[in-house]
Amino acid sequence: MPECSTREFKPEDLRRVCEIELRSFSHPYPCQLFLVYYYLFPKLFLVAECDNLVVGYAVGVVENGDKGHLASIAVDENYRGRGLGRALIEEFEARIKTLGVFKVYLEVSIRNEVAISLYRKLGYSVVGLLRKYYPDGEDAYLMLKELK
Ligand SMILES: CC(C)(COP(=O)(O)OP(=O)(O)OC[C@H]1O[C@@H](n2cnc3c(N)ncnc32)[C@H](O)[C@@H]1OP(=O)(O)O)[C@@H](O)C(=O)NCCC(=O)NCCS
């Protein structure tokens, strides 16, 4: 089994992050957007790395000074189911708390059972339904967690 860990994103990781993004979503974020996130909150842009290969990322921002937004998370399909998604979110939460933020929200497609299951296990609850949230007209759940 490869050795895996999480760390802060570096600009040289961008190519791999964009590859994972493209393969993971039918409506991927434009690659440049990741650099915007990086410049806004570098400490909240994390990657998972296994044997020197970037295999996943989580990225987010602080809004209005007190609300965390987990903007996106994805793990390379060959590395899913090994706890990396969970590790990325736990690290994201630990870091955002050091910024004095104790609430994190996210959006997830109502059809994305794997992600919803992960978020629920980590303590996120559905607090709203966002109709036609995605470009293909798919609805999203708004999920929220109060951090302890
Ligand atoms: C969602 C995603 C990031 C999870 O990453 P991961 O590294 O596979 O997740 P983990 O291994 O940490 O799994 C944690 C939990 O997710 C759920 N899960 C993971 N793989 C699953 C599967 N194949 N089927 C059902 N649930 C699954 C389980 O609840 C699991 O908990 P467990 O380990 O106690 O069983 C990953 O599946 C992914 O990149 N999906 C495509 C992109 C995406 O949908 N991102 C979320 C957008 S909101």
| Residue from 6, 89, 114, 122 to probe ligand 1 pocket by mutation (most atoms less than 8 Å from CB) | 114
pLDDT of res. 2: 84
Rounded Cα distance, 16 and 53, in Å: 8
CATH of the domain at 12: 3.40.630.30
Task: Let me know: does 37 contact 59? Beta carbons within 8 Å.
Answer: yes
Ligand 1 is surrounded, with C-beta below 6 A, by: 24, 73-75, 80-86, 108, 112, 114-115, 117-118, 121
Structure tokens at 73: 């998370």
**Atom number in ligand 1 closest to CA 121:** 29
**Spatial CA neighbour of 50 closest among 20, 90, 93:** 20
pLDDT of res. 128: 98
Atom 39 of ligand 1: nearest residue by CA position: 74
pLDDT of 49-61, one tens digit each?
A: 999 999 999 999 9
Task: Let me know: does 88 contact 54? Beta carbons within 8 Å.
Answer: no
pLDDT of res. 31: 96
Rounded Cα distance, 80 and 44, in Å: 21
**Spatial CA neighbour of 62 closest among 86, 82, 92:** 92
Task: Let me know: does 147 contact 102? Beta carbons within 8 Å.
Answer: yes
Domain that holds residue 49: 4-146
Expressed in angstroms and rounded, the spacing between residue 110 Cα and the centre of ligand 1 is: 14
The structural domain count of the chain equals 1
Mean pLDDT split into 10-residue runs, the chain, 148 residues: 94 98 94 97 98 97 96 98 98 97 98 98 98 95 97
Rounded Cα distance, 99 and 5, in Å: 22
